[in-house]
Amino acid sequence: MLFKAGVLKKIGRGEVTLAFRRWSKPTVKAGGSLRTAAGVLAIEGVEAVDIDTVSDADVQAAGYASRAELLRDLRPEGVLYRIAFRVAGADPRKGLRENETLDAADFATLNARLDAFDRAAPWTRTVLAMIAEEDGRTAAAMAERLGMEKLALKRKIRQLKELGLTESLAVGYRLSPRGHAFVNANRRQA
């Protein structure tokens, strides 16, 4: 479940505690958690609802000014779900990506993980190098240069983000301090 940047800010301030999504089946479940830029969300409830039962208070708790605004953001097909959540803590990836001190074990572990990602076809180090060249480089620009589908590349970049190597910007990506340390250490090894 993804959120727009403006909604993430509101989640972080505690102003948004609900989300509405149309899905063929839910992608989150009650009792689960979801890592976001606003922190780790504890999913407190997921229920199928009819749009007519969504109250004005629910609309506001989801960050919308009106029901019409909510409806514009929803997919036209699928079951409507009401997802209740709360911020349960900080995103652990933030601390990871800020840690630019890589010892030999960290370096070896990261290289092993990237090698595993590259098993089908090498891409990790190329993408890291492209992001290192220019903060804000978009997935669309990289995908075109690599001859890859944009959404497939975005999924791959999320793998790098899970390792604390990249950060999402409002537009595009940049290397985290950990990512810079890793890329620089790889250059020294080459």
What is the pLDDT, as a whole number, of residue 92?
Answer: 80
**Coil vs helix vs strand at 36:** strand
DSSP result, 87-99: EEE--HHHHHHH-
Q: How far is CA 147 from CA 115, 138, 165, in A?
A: 21, 14, 23
CB 43 within 8 A of CB 29: yes
pLDDT score of 178: 96
| pLDDT for the residue numbered 7 | 94
Backbone angles phi, psi at 82, to 5 degrees: -105, 120
Query: Which stretches in the chain have pLDDT values below 50?
Result: none
Structure tokens at 129: 């190098």
Q: Which pLDDT score is estimated for 91?
A: 81
* The pLDDT of residue 96: 86
> Could you tell me where the DSSP H helices lie in the chain?
5-12, 56-61, 67-73, 92-98, 104-117, 124-133, 139-146, 150-162, 177-189
Domains of the chain: 5-90 (3.10.400.10), 93-189 (1.10.10.10)
Kindly report whether the global pTM for this prediction surpasses the value 0.75.
no
Residue 40 Cα distances to 85, 137, 160, angstroms? 10, 26, 18
